[in-house]
Amino acid sequence: MNNVYYGKLIFELSKPGRIGYSLPTSDIQGYCIDNLPECVTRKNQLDLPEADELTVARHYTNMSNNNFGVDTGFYPLGSCTMKYNPKVNEEMAALPGFNIHPSTPNAMAQGALELYDELQKILSEIAGLSRFTLNPYAGAHGELTGLMVIRKYHMQRGDVTRTKIIVPDSAHGTNPASAAVCGLQIVQVKSTTDGTVDIEDLKPLLGPDIAGMMMTNPNTLGIFERKIPEIARLVHECGGLMYYDGANLNPMLGVCRPGDMGFDVMHINLHKTFSTPHGGGGPGSGPVGVRTGLEQYLPNPQVVRNVDGTYSTTNDDQSLGRVSGWLGNFGIIIRAYAYLLSLGRENINMAGKLSVLNANYIKECLRSHYKLPIDGLCKHEFVFDGLKDEYAGDRHSPDHVTTLDVAKRLLDYGFHAPTIYFPLLFHEAMMIEPTETESKDTLDEFIAVMKQIAEEAKANPELLKTAPHSTPIRRLDDVKAVKEPRFIY
Amino acid sequence: MFKYFPHTSDDIQQMLDIIGVKSLDELYAEIPEELKLHRQLDIPSHKSEVEVRNIIHGMAEKNRILTCFAGSGVYDHYTPSLVPYLASRSEFSTSYTPYQAEISQGTLLYIFEYQTMMARLTGMDISNASMYDGSTATAEAMMMCVSASKKRNRVLISSTFNENVLQVVRTYAGFHGIDLVEIPQKDGIMDQQAVKDLIENEDVAGLVVAQPNRFGIIEDFTGLADFCHEHNTLLAVNTVASALGVLKSPGEWGADIACGDAQSLGVPMGYGGPYIGYLCTRNALVRKMPGRLVGATTDADGKRAFVLTMQAREQHIRREKATSNICTAQGFMCLYIACYLSLMGQKGLEQVNRQGYSAAHYMHDELIKSGKFVEVFPDKPFLNEFTLRYTGDDDIRIRMTEAGILFGVPTQDLDNCFTIACTEKNTREQIDSVINQL
C-alpha cells in the first residue's frame, strides 16, 4: 500500500477503438447470431470500457496500492480473525485439475470429492460433531443452514410450535438476521455485567415454543461462557437445540470442542479460523456440522464415501433441501484443507493458544490507557470501552476523543483499526483480535502506537479529530453518500 | 516453532510474565476441566509444504479434465490471463470488508466499477456488491418481492429454471414462509397464460423468470412486465450474465429486479465455486435491496472517494429487521468481473456470444444430421445451449466421458435428453470429434 491517491475509474481511461482481449477466428461458417428474433435481442448499448491490456493492468495495480490487507500490516479487526493467508493454499486452489465443470460425473471428479470428504472429517473431529456439509458459502449462510437443520429436526418430529430462537444481546447481527430469514422469531437474552449470558434472564424464556439457542463461545467480548453446560442442559430440557456460531472458534482449537460443550449444530468460518483470504468481503465458506442423529437433515447434495473407497454425491429425502448451486465455494475448501494439512495435529492447538496469548498481552499492556470494562482472562479477543477519561477528555466537550478518532489515527501509523462500536454493550467499544500469526515485535509496535495516540489525545485532540492525515484520502462524508446517493458511474 | 507462528520461546515467556500466568495452558484456567479435550485431535499429522503439494496434486490428478460441452448455469469461457494475475494481488485478497474507507479505496473502487458494469449489462439503475451465487441471488430476489409488496406473500417462479436453482429457491421459500408457485413449462417455455391467470385472480408479490431457460431456449417476455405492473406484481428476470451482451436486458423487458450468476463472465468453473451472484434493481427499490452497496462521496478535502453506504438495510445495524442476513458475500469476485469486462468491453462480449452461437448451432445441426438425435422443442430460438433427445439405447454420456468429452448435462424430467452448451473455446475440430464418436 502507498498513500498516493489514485481514485480513477476504468470508465475514465476508456477510449473508443481499444480492445483488451484476443479470441481465435472461428472456423465455423454459415451461422449468424443476427438471425435471432429481434424481439429477444438487446437494443441498448452496453457502454462498457474500451481499454488495452496495459491500461487495465496499471489501473488495477495502482488501485491495489490504495488498499490495506493482512500482507500490508497488522489487522486487529475483532471478530474477523485476520490471520495470515498462506500462499501454498493459493497455489493448490489454482491447480488445473480442480477447474472442472460441477456437473462432471462423480467417477471423473473423485479427487475433488475426496478432498471435500477429508476436510469434512477433519472439521468433525475439531468440532466434536458427527458430520459437516461444506456447501454453505459464508458464515451467515452457515447460520441460516444450521437454523434450517434445527427447524427441520423439530418439524420431522411433528413439533411445529417451536418458532422462536434465543439470541444473546451481544450476538453478531447476522444471528438474528439469519433467524429471521429462516422464519424464526427472535427472543433476546440479556448479558450480566461480566458480559456472559444471564441465566436468570434465560430461564423464564424457555418453553415449548423455543426451537433453540444461538451462542458463540467465547462470546463477542472474548469471554468464555463458563456456565455453558448448564445453559445447554436448560435448553435441551425444554426441547430446544444448541447452535454454536463458529466465528470465535480460533482460541478453542484442540482445547475445547463445541460438541463437548453441549452444542448440536454449528458453523465454521473457513475464512476466519482456517486462514482462507477474506477477499475484501468474500468469498468465504461456512461449513455446518451436526451431532449424531441430525446428519440426514444437512443440505443436498451430500458427499459420501462408499464402502469400496470411492466417493459419490447423494440426495437425502429428509434433507432440509438445498442452499447452494453446487458443492459450495470449492476453491475456499481446497485452501482450508491445505492449511489444515500444514498445521496438523501437532500445531493446531498452538494456533489457538498463541491467539489467546497475543490478545491477553495487548490487553495487559494497554489497560493503563484504555478502559477495560471486563477484567480477567480473555480468549482470542477483548473489548476496550474507549480511552480512559484522563486521555479522552470531558465527554461533553467538542474535544472529547472518541473511539472513532483513535481508530482513524491508527491508520496514520500503518495499522488497520480494530472493530469499533461493536458489541453494542459499550458506547465506545473497540474490539481487538490480534490472531496467532502476529509476532511480539508487531504487538509491541502496536502497543507503543496506541499509547502514543492516548498521549496525543490529551495534548492535541484536534490531531485525532481530523485524522487520518497520511492516508490516500481523508475522512469521508458518509451523510452525503446517503443523501445524494450515487451507486454507479 | 512452525512457519505460521512467529513466537520464540523467549517471546512467549516474556508475554506470560506480563499477563501474570505461568503457562499457555493457564490462559484457559477458567474453562471447566471436564469441557477440555485432554488429548490430541485425531486429524492428519503436520505436513511439510512439499508433502502438502504432493497430496493435493494427487487429488487434483484424480479428476479428469474433459472437453466441456456442459452448461446448465456454468459455462467454460475464456479468461484473459491478466484477470487471475491481477486478482492474485494480496492487497486486494487479504483485506476485509472495507469498513475503513480511507485505507480500502482499492476494494471500494472495483466494487463501484462492478456495480456500474452490472447495472449497464442488466439495464437496471443499481447493482449491489454481489450475492453468493445465482441460486441464492434468485432466492433473495424472491424474498425482496415479498418484502417490497408488504402484504402479499405469493411468488410465482418459472419451472424452466435449472433444477438446482429451483431447489434452492424452494428451500428458502419453505423456511421463510413464502407461498411459492411453480409455473409449468409448455413446449419448452414458461406457460405465460398460466402466469396471467394467477396474477389476475390472486395477490401475487412477484414473478421470477429464467433467460435463457434450462433447455437453452430464449423466452419472449414481451408485454409481461406491463401485465405484472398493472396488477402490482414485481417482475424479476434471471439471465445468464454473459448472454446480456446480446440478449434483451432485464431493464428492456421492464423488470424490477435482475438477478443471476455472473460466473459466465470469465470466472473459472472451479467445480462449483467461488462464483458470484448478481442482484440489480430500480432506484425505487434500493431500500429493499439485500447485501452491501458502495456509493460515491467526497473526503474532507473534497476528493472523490467511495464508501459502503445505505447500511441501515444491513444485518449489523438492523439485526432481525435487515433486508437479508448476508454479510460476507463474494466481494473479491467483483474484481474478477470488473477486470474481465474492462478487457472484453462490448465488442469482446458480443464476439464471445457470436462464437458460442455459431458453435452451438453447428453442433446442434450436426447432431441432428447424424440421425441419432431429434429435436425436443423444434424451432425455438437458442443462443449457445440447446436440448436434444438421443435416439440410441446405450449410455452415451458414459461413452463420451471415456473419450474425454463432457457431453452436456442430462435434462431434468426428460428421458434420454441432453442439454448441451458451447462457448468460444469449443472449436470445430472438437465438435467434429464428438460427432465422430457417435
pLDDT tens, position by position, B292-325: 999 999 999 999 999 999 888 888 888 888 888 8
CA dihedral B91, B92, B98, B100 (to 10 degrees): 10
Residue A181: phi and psi, rounded to 5, are: -60, -35
pLDDT in tens, B275-287: 999 999 999 999 9
**Mutate which of A181, A462, A464 to disrupt the B interface (most B C-beta within 10 Å)?**
A181
- Amino acid B301: pLDDT: 95
| B325 touches A: beta carbon within 8 Å | yes
CA distance B237 to B249: 9
DSSP A201-231: HHGGG-STTEEEEEE-SS-TTS---TTHHHH
Task: Write down the domain spans for chain A.
Answer: 10-64, 87-342, 352-480
For A340, the grid coordinates are: 489444515
Indicate the average pLDDT of chain B.
Answer: 96
For A:363-382, CB contacts with B below 8 A are 364-365, 376-377
Nearest chain A residue to B409, by CA: A103
Over residues A315-328, the mean pLDDT reads: 97
Residue B341: its chain A contacts at CB < 8 A?
48-49
CB A290 within 8 Å of CB A297: yes
Residues A40-80: pLDDT tens digits?
999 999 999 999 999 999 999 999 999 999 999 999 999 99
pLDDT of residue B206: 98
Contact residues for B347 (Cβ-Cβ < 8 A; gap 6+)? A19, A50
Question: For residue range B355-383, what is the model confidence (pLDDT) as tens digits?
Answer: 999 999 999 999 999 999 999 999 999 99
Helix axis angle for A330-366 and A440-459, nearest 10°, is 60
For chain A, say whether B105 makes contact (Cβ under 8 Å). Answer: yes
Each residue's pLDDT tens digit, B57-112:
999 999 999 999 999 999 999 999 999 999 999 999 999 999 999 999 999 999 99
- Chain A nearest-CA distance from B199, in A, is 23
Third-level CATH fold of A352-480: Aspartate Aminotransferase, domain 1 (3.90.1150)
Contact B69, B432 (CB under 8 A): no
- Dist CA B202 CA B124 (whole Å): 28
CB contact under 8 A, B63 and A108: yes
Concatenate the DSSP letters of all residues of B81-98 into one string: THHHHHHT-HHHHT--S-
- Identify residue A442 by its one-letter amino acid code: T
CA distances from residue B114 to A60, A63, B342, B357 in whole angstroms, order as listed:
13, 14, 10, 26
Confirm or reject contact between A162 and chain B (CB < 8 A). no
Query: What gap in Å lies between CA A129 and CA B51, rounded to an integer?
Result: 28
Distance from the Cα of A433 to chain B's closest Cα (Å) equals 14
Judge: B428–A10 Cβ closer than 8 Å, yes or no: no
CB B275 within 8 A of CB B334: no
Smallest CA–CA distance, residue B208 to chain A, in Å, is 17
Which residues numbered 121-140 in A keep a CB inside 8 Å of some CB on B? 122, 125-126, 128, 137-140
Give the closest of B84, B325, B346 to A48, CB-based.
B346
Residue A409's H or E segment, with its range, is helix A403-412
- Cβ(A172)–Cβ(A152) under 8 Å? no
How far is the C-alpha of A454 from the C-alpha of A370, rounded, in Å? 8
What's the pTM value of the predicted model, to 2 decimals?
0.97
Q: Compute CA B217 distance to the chain's CA centroid, rounded to the nearest angstrom.
A: 20
CB pairs < 8 Å spanning A and B: 707
A249: pLDDT strictly greater than 90: yes
Going by C-alpha positions, the residue among B249, B292, B295 that lies closest to residue B119 is B249
Interchain pair B120, A255: CB under 8 A:
no
Asked if residues B128 and B290 have their Cβ atoms less than 8 Å apart, the reply is: yes
The residue-averaged pLDDT of A88-103 equals 98
A234 in B contact zone (CB under 8 Å): no
pLDDT digits (tens, 9 = 90+) for A196-238: 999 999 999 999 999 999 999 999 999 999 999 999 999 999 9
Percentage of residues of chain A with pLDDT beyond 90? 95
Q: pLDDT (tens digit, 9 = 90+) per residue, B394-431? A: 999 999 999 999 999 999 999 999 999 999 999 999 99
User: In this predicted model, what pLDDT tens digit does every residue of A160-189 receive, in sequence order?
Assistant: 999 999 999 888 899 999 999 999 999 999
Q: Give exposure, A267-302, as e/b (b: 16+ Cβ within 10 Å).
A: bbbbbbbbbbbbbbbbbbbbbbbbbeebbbbbbbbb
- Left, alpha or beta for A344 (phi > 0: left; psi -120 to 50: alpha)? left
- Asked if A281 and B328 come within 8 Å (Cβ–Cβ), the reply is yes
Q: Is the pLDDT of residue B347 over 90?
A: yes
**Least CB-CB distance to A43: which of B20, B51, B252?**
B252
Strands A210-215 and A164-168: parallel
As beta bridge partners, residue A241 has A212
Residue of B nearest to A122 (CA): B43
Determine whether the interchain pair A338/B58 forms a contact, defined as Cβ–Cβ distance below 8 Å: no
Measured distance CA(A319)–CA(A313) in Å, rounded: 13
Considering the domain A87-342 in this protein, what is its CATH number?
A: 3.40.640.10
Closest chain A C-alpha to B225 CA, distance in angstroms: 14
Minimal-distance CA residue of chain A relative to B311 = A482
Residue B336: closest CA among A135, A93, A279: A279
Contacts of A43 in chain B (CB under 8 A): 248, 252
From the centroid of its chain, how far is CA B429?
30
Same fold, A87-342 and A352-480: no
CB B28 within 8 A of CB A255: yes
Task: Say what the ipTM of the complex is.
Answer: 0.97
Inter-chain residue contact A437 with B5, CB threshold 8 Å: yes
Q: What φ, ψ does residue A461 adopt, rounded to 5°?
A: -55, -30
The contacts of residue B181 (CB under 8 Å, 6+ apart) are B154, B155, B156, B157, B198
Residue B279 · residue B127 · CB < 8 Å: yes
Cβ–Cβ contact B223 with A under 8 A: no
Q: How many helices (H) and strands (E) does chain B have?
A: 14, 17
Instruction: Give the Cα separation of B45 and A343 in Å (integer).
Output: 8
Predicted confidence (pLDDT) at residue A119 exceeds the cutoff of 90: yes
* Interchain CB distance below 8 Å, B119 and A488: yes
CB within 8 Å of A32: residues ≥ 6 apart:
B354, B357, B358
Chain B CB contacts of A6 below 8 Å = 105, 109
Measured between beta carbons, the chain B residues lying within 8 angstroms of A323 are 136, 168, 171
- At B164-222, the pLDDT tens digits run 999 999 999 999 999 999 999 999 999 999 999 999 998 999 999 999 999 999 999 99
Task: Compare CB distances from A108 to B25, B106, B401 and report the shortest one's residue.
Answer: B401
Q: Indicate whether A26 pLDDT > 90.
A: no
Phi first, then psi, for residue A215 (nearest 5°) are: -145, 155
Cα A424 to the center of its chain, rounded Å: 18
Ordered by where they begin, the domains of chain B are 9-55 (no CATH), 67-77+345-437 (3.90.1150.10), 82-339 (3.40.640.10)
The arithmetic mean of pLDDT across residues A295-311, rounded, is: 98
